[in-house]
Chain A
C-alpha cells in the first residue's frame, strides 16, 4: 500500500524526534522512508551499484552522527540529498570517474535499446553542472525549488542549467532527435 506524502512527513518527524533523543533504531525508519530514493539518486550520479550502496549507507550514517542536531523542520529530505550529492562528488573525484560512462547493469533486457544506451551515455558525458539538474529534475522528479536547495543555487540558476543541459544533451545526441 502506498503512503501519502503527508504520512511520510509525519513519520519523518517521529523518527527524527526519536533519533535526536538517542534512539538509533529510528534510523531504520528514515532509511525505510528515503533509502530507495537516495540509492537511485546515487546510482544515477555514480553509475555503479557498489558505489551507490556505499554512498547510501554513508549518507544515513552521517544522519546518525549528527542525530542530536536534527530538527523536524521539513528540510530534512533536502539535506539528505545534499549529503548524498557531496558524497557522490567526493567519490567521483577519488575514482576520477567524472567523465567515465556509467555501467550497464541497471538496464533490463528490453531497455537495452540503442537509443536509451546512447541517451544514458550522453548524459554521463555532460559536465556535472548540467548533469545534476537533469538527474534531479527530469529523472528523479524533484521540484525546481528543492533541486536548487540541494545544489545550493537559486531557482533561476537551476532552471538556466536545466535548460542548457537539455540543449547540451541534444547536441551530444546529434541527429537522433532531428525533426523528420
Chain B
C-alpha cells in the first residue's frame, strides 16, 4: 500500500513535469513492464496537456473600456500619460464664419 501511494505520487509529479530527468527516465523504464503504470502516467499527463491547451479568455478592447469606465466612476483619476494630447493647430478644423 505504501509503495502504491509512493508510485502514485511519482506519477503526479511526472504529469506536472516536476520530476528530475533521472527519476522521469526511471519511471518511464518501469512503465515499460507495467501497463497499468504506463496508462496512469500517460492519461494523467494528457489531462495536464489538455488543460493547458484550453483557449485563453479573450481580453477584448470592449471589456477593457467597460472596466476602465467602472474604475473612473469609482474614483480612479485620469492618468496624464495616457490622456490624449490636444491636436496640433494644423490638424484642427475651424467652422467657416458665416456672414
Contact = CB atoms under 8 A, between A and B. Distances in A.
Given A167-B12, A179-B42, 19 more contacts: A27-B77, A35-B64, A35-B67, A39-B57, A40-B57, A40-B59, A49-B57, A53-B63, A57-B71, A60-B76, A64-B71, A106-B55, A120-B54, A166-B16, A166-B47, A169-B47, A178-B43, A179-B35, A179-B38
Contact of B74 (A57, A115, A139): A57
A52 to B, nearest CB: 7
B80 A25 contact: yes
Contacts of B76: 24-25, 27-28, 31, 60-61, 64
Contacts of B89: none
Contacts of A134: 51
Interface of B is mostly: helix
Contact of A23 (B42, B43, B77): B77
Interface in A20-34: 23-29, 31
A52 B77 contact: no
Given A28-B79, A178-B43, A139 B52 contact: yes
Which of B48, B54, B77, B78 is most buried by chain A, counting CB atoms within 10 A of its CB? B54
Contact residues on B (Cβ < 8 Å of other chain), bracket: 35 or more
Contacts of A120: 54
B91 interface: no
Contact of B46 (A26, A123, A177): A177
A132 B12 CA distance: 17
26 contacts: A23-B77, A25-B76, A25-B77, A28-B68, A35-B59, A35-B67, A52-B63, A53-B66, A53-B70, A57-B70, A61-B74, A61-B76, A64-B74, A64-B76, A119-B54, A120-B54, A138-B51, A139-B52, A166-B47, A166-B48, A166-B51, A167-B12, A170-B43, A170-B44, A177-B42, A177-B47
Interface of B: 9, 12, 15-16, 35, 38-39, 42-44, 46-48, 50-59, 63-64, 66-68, 70-71, 74-80, 82
Given A64-B76, A139-B54, A31 B47 contact: no
